[in-house]
Amino acid sequence: MAHAKEVPTFGFMYYVKAAFAGGLCCSVTHGAVVPVDVVKTLIQLYPDVYNKGMVDAAQKKLAADGLKGLTTGLGATAVGYFVQGWFKFGGVEFFKVNIAQRLGERKAWEQRTNIYLASAAMAEFIADLFLCPLEAVRIRSVADPTFPKGLGPGFAKMLSAEGVLGFYAGLGPILFKQIPYTMAKFAVQGKASEAMYRSSNTAPETSSKSYNVSISLASGVIAGIVAAIISHPADTLLSKINNKGAGGDGSTVSRLINIAKQEGPMKLLTTGLAARCVMIGTLTAGQFGIFDTVMGIVGAKKFHFHDPDHH
């Protein structure tokens, strides 16, 4: 928790810098794993065809559509996750700092996990309102060979065919996927990094930038795998509901229930899970590593909770 004289450090520009660093880290990492995400989505959508693991699925997609097939949706992903990362990381910092300052140093330290969870939930909800349309276009471009591959043409076609509400058909699953995922990601990363600093008898304020980034990477892997497992069933539903005609013609809720019944609990929990753990573990480590690096480059001293008994 910052002392009173340090409060200006967490003014408006601090949140802008955090939002920029968050947008960059999410855009770069999600863009880099697009081929893995394409393969994961195909395994979830067409398990009868892509049923021999990630490598075989990637080979089949390459043989059918070439390298371009594995980068389907890259534009929507890069733009969508920059916007989402801007609100997610910027929002988490905003809510985390402001809640901590209202509670005071001791209460903030005692309630730090709850602060992480609440901040992540609020920030992610806002971020998902911006992400949902871009994610709908990305999934449709992967699932439907006749759908435009560019972001602009994809948006135009979806808007003319389904209207604005068509972009938000997957909002429920996105919220069910992303909010628990983000809550787990930030809370587990916070706990894991804290344990790593404690076990090495170091602290982020007194460690080198490179050491802090290495802690962010290591704790990010742990956080990513936990978050991937927690949010996987909703991720499968999201992939399915954006596939045209899935779950019948009723409301979004009835379609989701139909899809869940068709798949069954085991398929929802396990289909594409290995691919997603690899993707999210790598991606989350990269996000926290890039976020801390960019925050250092733009001159923002990152907020950390402090134990008032161990200054």
Tokens describing residue 294: 């960019």
* pTM over cut 0.75: yes
pLDDT at 87: 96
237-264 as b/e, with b when 16 or more CB fall inside 10 Å? bbbbbbbeebbeeeebeebbebbbeebe
Mention every residue, 6+ apart, whose C-beta is less than 8 A from residue 199.
none
Cβ-based burial of 130 (10 A; exposed 0-12, middle 13-18, buried ≥19)? middle
Q: How far apart are CA 223 and CA 217, in angstroms?
A: 10
How far apart are the C-alpha atoms of 225 and 233, rounded to whole Å? 14
Alpha-carbon distance of 91 to 196, in angstroms, equals 25
Q: In this structure, how many other beta carbons lie within 10 angstroms of the beta carbon of residue 299? A: 8
Q: How far apart are CA 138 and CA 281, in angstroms?
A: 21
3-state secondary structure the chain: CCCHHHHHHHCHHHHHHHHHHHHHHHHHHHHHCHHHHHHHHHHHHCCCCCCCCHHHHHHHHHHHHHHHHHCCCHHHHHHHHHHHHHHHHHHHHHHHHHHHHHHCHHHHHHCHHHHHHHHHHHHHHHHHHHHHHHHHHHHHHHHCCCCCCCHHHHHHHHHHHHHHHHCCCCHHHHHHHHHHHHHHHHHHHHHHHHHHHHHCCCCCCCCCHHHHHHHHHHHHHHHHHHHHHHHHHHHHHHHHHCCCCCCCCCCHHHHHHHHHHHHHHHHHHHCCHHHHHHHHHHHHHHHHHHHHHHHHHCCCCCCCCCCCCCC
Domain limits of the chain? 4-297
Interatomic CA distance for residues 274 and 86, integer angstroms: 28
Distance CA 206, CA 288 (A): 19
Q: Please say whether the structural domain 4-297 has been given the CATH code 1.50.40.10.
A: yes
Please, which residues have CB within 8 angstroms of residue 44's CB and are 6 or more apart in sequence?
235, 236, 239, 240, 271, 272
Amino acid at 94: F
User: How far apart are alpha carbons 211 and 1 in whole angstroms?
Assistant: 21
Q: List the pLDDT tens digit at each of the 311 positions of the chain.
A: 444 334 446 889 999 999 999 999 999 998 888 888 788 778 877 888 888 888 888 888 888 888 888 887 787 788 888 999 999 999 999 999 999 999 999 999 999 999 999 999 999 999 999 888 887 887 788 778 788 877 788 889 988 888 888 888 878 878 888 899 899 999 999 999 999 999 999 988 888 889 999 999 999 999 999 998 888 888 778 777 766 667 777 777 788 788 888 878 788 777 778 888 888 898 899 999 999 999 999 999 889 898 888 75
